[in-house]
Amino acid sequence: MHISIVILNWNDALATIRCAESVLKAIESCPCSKLTADIYLVDNDSEEVDILQLSEWHQRQANNNVSIVLNQSNLGFSGGMNRGIRAALKNGTVDYFWLLNNDAICMPSALYALVLAAQQQQQVAIWGATIIDSKTGEVSCHGGRSYNKWLGMDKPWTPKVSKQPVPDYIYGAAMLIKAEVLSRIDGLDEAYFLYFEELELVHRLASNETIAWCENSVVRHVGGGSCTSDLVKEITVKHAALSAFIFTQRYYPLCLPSVILARLLGLFLRSFQQQKWLHIRAGWQAFTDFLTRCSK
């Protein structure tokens, strides 16, 4: 089995390096002799200093299968990940892709747990991990989340209390995906700059393909250090709303009015509570961008 790990960087090289080093330890800790793995670091047009840090670390990895892909513009999550996926497919046969947020830290047994699960349940196309909040030490995600199509919002999925045997989608911070699935659908859908690409993936699976939670694969989630400025927050809020509108129009068009209302009202209330009007601006920009897309 060959697994290609793709880690996306945008102006947070230190976090990306920390994530990659945790992956290297997970590869080394894997007792499976038939497992081979490589790592693709994909940079989404970061600042020059950030790229330099990433490149210097990459140069020190002569004994490891680490490659670096430098994008000339910020392609978002889907676009950035796709460049790493396509680079790996060009270099040889890949059985699975492990897509990781750069603010994730893999526990040493995280990869081996996924390998065992994938070997035992080959009908599963996408595996999720147990996500631990780095600050509290508590489980923040049991592989995936539940989705409310009428509000366009999600909530935690907990197997002990949920009526659903599996979550609605796998959480994108750590996804193990069959390479044949990504090859068939030509990677992640780049209509989504940020968010909702995980839900889109589930809707594009074949009828005999499923998703599942690998409880023993544990990943600590540190939190995105690069998303601290109001400008970046406004961008992420905008794309979260825009992606919700795009996804709803595609799969649940009858729910579109309630999703738009819920999103815009929620952003208005958040702006009022925080006395920061970036949420209102972001919501309005998402709505106008969506109308522009619809008119084309």
In percent, the amount of the chain with pLDDT more than 70 equals 98
Q: What is the architecture, at CATH level 2, of domain 2-221?
A: Alpha-Beta Complex (3.90)
Composition of the chain by helix, strand, coil, percent to 5: 45, 25, 30
H or E stretch including 268?
helix 256-274
Q: Does residue 34 have a pLDDT over 90? A: no
The residue written with tokens 């009526």 in the block is 163
H or E stretch including 226?
none
H or E stretch including 92?
none
Dihedral of CA 85/100/142/145: which sign?
negative
Q: Does residue 225 have a pLDDT over 50? A: no
Domain ranges of the chain: 2-221, 230-295
pLDDT at 227: 46
Is the model's pTM score more than 0.75? Answer: yes
Dihedral of CA 106/112/114/115: which sign?
positive
Q: Residue 55, exposed/middle/buried by CB under 10 A (0-12, 13-18, 19+)? A: middle
H or E stretch including 131?
strand 124-133
How many residues can be counted in the chain? 296
Model confidence at 99, pLDDT cuts 50, 70, 90, reads very high
